[in-house]
Amino acid sequence: MNFLILPVLIDLLSDQGITDNQLLKNTGLDEFDLSNLPILNGQQADEICSRAIKLSGDPLLGIKLGLRLDMVSLGILGYAAMTSATVGDVLKLLVRFKQALLPSVRIDLVKDGGSVQLRSAAAQLPQALERFYKDALYTGLVTNLDTLTDNHVATPILELDYGEPEDWALYQSIFGSNIKFNSSRCGLTFDAESLVVPISTSDPLAQVIFQRECNRILANDNHAGMVSERVKQALLSSRSEFPTSAAVAQQMHMSESTMQRRLAKEGTRFQELLDQVRYRLALEYLQGTQLPVSEIALLLGFSNPANFRRSFKRWSATTPAQMRQPNIS
């Protein structure tokens, strides 16, 4: 999948008098047909969005972008969301295919009692760019869920890890009074009742088709050259006894230094990808099995359970014991 928000961003900036030539100047994409752009990696997407923020000078640009991200503008991913069964299923879909929306942002679902929080983080990015992405993500999600459920979802609680803006009326018009600024975390919290609210356009047969198409396109994207995704697939396929950086590079028929250099261009490192894979597998083991935490720690390559617990807390801001609850229905 390509960077799906780019055409919407270009239209938004056009309304502000900013041309696509200005936006894409010196990015290496200015000579491409906008209707047939190449697959963008996270670094290219970040560069374009950073330029949009600078050209616009609008602190609410992310909010305004989110308001324009309707399901149709998101292509196959949007149709997959429209045909999902419940709000919970839409959230899972978003996490699974986040690479097509915000490739530089980490998005996770974290259980908190009976509720679920959709959290996002991109600490490696400049503050203005991270805020832009978060504003677009949360606004787009809330406004589209209102449409997909005929306004039957209770407004989720929004926590933001930055201060209240001088002009926050637009935030309030979208999220109501359920906003907490200067929070220690960033996310949207949905109560248990909201997760099972049905999607008004749900279609199980079409859902299978659209999800399959999303998987196919994502697989093609990985093959097209995202080294970070290929590394994660190599790590995931091992399940345990994770290969070293050198071994993965050899599997990919390149030198370790070449792989590290290409990962750096995509804004990541081998250890970060290993942590992502370990976290993903940890969730599978905790939520899908009854294995003791000590055994899960060993399966994930940790020397002792305490090290695993510390790492898991760093990844998810919760403990393995707190995470071990029934799956979202």
Asked whether residue 252 is assigned to any structural domain, the reply reads yes
Give residue 328's pLDDT.
44
Residues of the chain short of pLDDT 50, as ranges, are 1, 35-36, 222-225, 327-329
Examine the fold and report which residue of 195, 212, 243 is the final residue of a domain before the chain moves on. Answer: 195
Residues 74, 17 share a domain: yes
The sign of the CA dihedral 4, 71, 8, 31 is: positive
Examine the fold and report which residue of 173, 195, 217 is the final residue of a domain before the chain moves on. Answer: 195
The sign of the CA dihedral 270, 212, 210, 279 is: negative
Give residue 76's pLDDT.
79
Residues 117, 54 share a domain: yes
Residue with tokens 């230094």: 257
Q: How many domains does the chain have?
A: 2
Asked whether residue 200 is assigned to any structural domain, the reply reads no
Asked whether residue 105 is assigned to any structural domain, the reply reads yes
d(CA 30, CA 210): 31
CATH number at residue 10: 3.90.1520.10
pLDDT digits (tens, 9 = 90+) for 248-293: 888 777 889 989 998 998 888 999 999 988 887 888 788 777 888 9
Residues 164, 34 share a domain: yes
Q: What is the pTM of this model?
A: 0.67
Cα 191 from chain centroid (whole Å): 20
Residues 57, 191 share a domain: yes
Residues 172, 62 share a domain: yes
Residues 292, 174 share a domain: no
Residues 33, 72 share a domain: yes
CA dihedral 269, 274, 276, 282 (to 10 degrees): -170
d(CA 67, CA 176): 15
Strand arrangement of the beta sheet that strand 115-121 belongs to: 106-112, 115-121, 187-190, 157-159, 179-180
Give residue 221's pLDDT.
53
CATH number at residue 312: 1.10.10.60
Q: Is 19 left (phi over 0), alpha (psi -120 to 50) or beta?
A: beta
Asked whether residue 1 is assigned to any structural domain, the reply reads no
Give residue 40's pLDDT.
66
Asked whether residue 219 is assigned to any structural domain, the reply reads no
On whether the CB atoms of residues 285 and 294 are closer than 8 A, the answer is no
- What pairing do the DSSP bridges indicate for beta strands 115-121 and 106-112? antiparallel
**Residue 311's domain spans which residues?**
225-323
On whether the CB atoms of residues 249 and 255 are closer than 8 A, the answer is yes
d(CA 321, CA 113): 12
Encoded tokens for 110: 């974290």
Residues 52, 170 share a domain: yes
Query: HEC states along the chain?
Result: CCCCCHHHHHHHHHHCCCCHHHHHCCCCCCCCCHHHCCCCCHHHHHHHHHHHHHHHCCCCHHHHHHHHCCCHHHHHHHHHHHCCCEHHHHHHHHHHCHHHCCCCCEEEEEEECCEEEEEEECCCCCHHHHHHHHHHHHHHHHHHHHHHCCCCCCCCEEECCCCCCCCCHHHHHHHCCCEECCCCCCEEEECHHHHCCECCCCCHHHHHHHHHHHHHHHHHHHHCCCHHHHHHHHHHHHCCCCCCHHHHHHHCCCCHHHHHHHHHHCCCCHHHHHHHHHHHHHHHHHHHCCCCHHHHHHHCCCCCHHHHHHHHHHHHCCCHHHHCCCCCC
- What pairing do the DSSP bridges indicate for beta strands 115-121 and 187-190? antiparallel
Query: HEC states along 80-110?
Result: HHHCCCEHHHHHHHHHHCHHHCCCCCEEEEE
